[in-house]
């Protein structure tokens, strides 16, 4: 993991996307509100975000960790960043034409919540959106000055470092998602209520698709610079 000041913008992007995910109703905060109102206690709202957060974290790690294990490919980091950013743009375009949003809210158990969070984060391309940021934070293996080949020990060391970066990105992003989602759920549970939730139910799929395209386009510009 690099520690240069320029990486601060990439880490900020990880946190900002996490907060956006937390605000997206599809990621589960209405279920937290429903559980809190059903059990008539605020602790149920926070407890719902344990499986939701774990499912989201798992969805991030399932995409990012394999890339860390393949970090020797980062010798072609620029090409990979362009390709990953292109995939984000294409996925965002696809979301413009295929938008489905759940219209029901009911109380579900922790295991179902974890599965819900995992599937929704995967289906919405949440980890894919982070991929250009993750690749930008990783270090590419250095070639041996005399042979021009990659040194095995150096590559293995970088693989371990990049695996740590994948875990750090996944955890930091999920914490931001939980914070934003829990804050929104608590606002509706404590002050606005289920009636306001029904009246104010909104669909972020269009904003989601446009944000994917914007994030991918920004990553393309940064990678091509």
pLDDT tens-digit map of 116-147: 687 667 766 677 778 778 877 776 555 555 55
Paired residues of 143 in beta bridges: 150
In this prediction, residue 43 carries a pLDDT of 92
Most confident region among 106-115, 116-125, 154-163, 169-178 by mean pLDDT: 169-178
DSSP 141-189: PPBPTTT-SBPHHHHHHHHHHHHHHHHHHHHHHHHHHHHHHHHHHHHII
pLDDT tens-place string over residues 189-222: 887 766 666 555 555 567 667 777 887 787 777 7
**Tokens matching residue 115:** 């599965």
DSSP 18-81: HHHHHH-GGGSHHHHHHHHHHHT-HHHHHHHHHHHHHHHHHHHHHHHHHHHHTGGGGGGHHHHH
Per the CB < 8 A criterion, the answer to whether 96 and 212 are in contact is no
Inter-helix orientation angle 8-23/126-137, to 10°: 170
DSSP state letter for 7? G
Query: What would the mean pLDDT of 60-68 be, rounded to a whole number?
Result: 80
Query: What would the mean pLDDT of 99-117 be, rounded to a whole number?
Result: 63
Q: How far apart are alpha carbons 10 and 172 in whole angstroms?
A: 12
pTM above 0.85, yes or no: no
Residue whose tokens read 């289906």:
123
pLDDT tens-place string over residues 30-55: 888 888 888 888 899 999 999 999 99
Q: Which of 86, 46, 30 is nearest to 217 (CA)?
A: 86
């Amino acid at each position: 993991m690099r520690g240069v000041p320029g990486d601060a913008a990439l880490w900020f992007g990880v946190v900002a996307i996490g907060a956006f995910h937390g605000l997206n109703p599809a990621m589960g905060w209405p279920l937290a509100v429903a559980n809190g109102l059903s059990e008539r206690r605020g602790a149920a709202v926070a407890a719902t975000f344990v499986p939701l957060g774990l499912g989201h974290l798992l969805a991030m790690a399932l995409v990012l960790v394999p890339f860390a294990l393949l970090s020797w490919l980062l010798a072609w980091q620029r090409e990979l960043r362009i390709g990953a950013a292109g995939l984000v743009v294409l996925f965002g375009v696809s979301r413009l034409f295929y938008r489905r949003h759940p219209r029901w809210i009911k109380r579900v158990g922790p295991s179902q919540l974890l599965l819900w969070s995992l599937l929704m984060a995967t289906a919405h391309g949440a980890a894919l959106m982070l991929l250009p940021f993750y690749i930008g934070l990783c270090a590419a293996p250095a070639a041996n000055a005399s042979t021009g080949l990659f040194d095995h020990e150096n590559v293995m060391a970088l693989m371990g470092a990049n695996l740590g970066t994948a875990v750090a990105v996944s955890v930091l992003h999920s914490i931001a998602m939980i914070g934003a989602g829990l804050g929104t759920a608590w606002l509706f549970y404590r002050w606005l209520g289920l009636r306001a939730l029904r009246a104010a139910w909104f669909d972020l799929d269009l904003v989601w698709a446009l944000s994917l395209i914007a994030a991918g386009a920004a990553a393309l510009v940064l990678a091509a610079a």
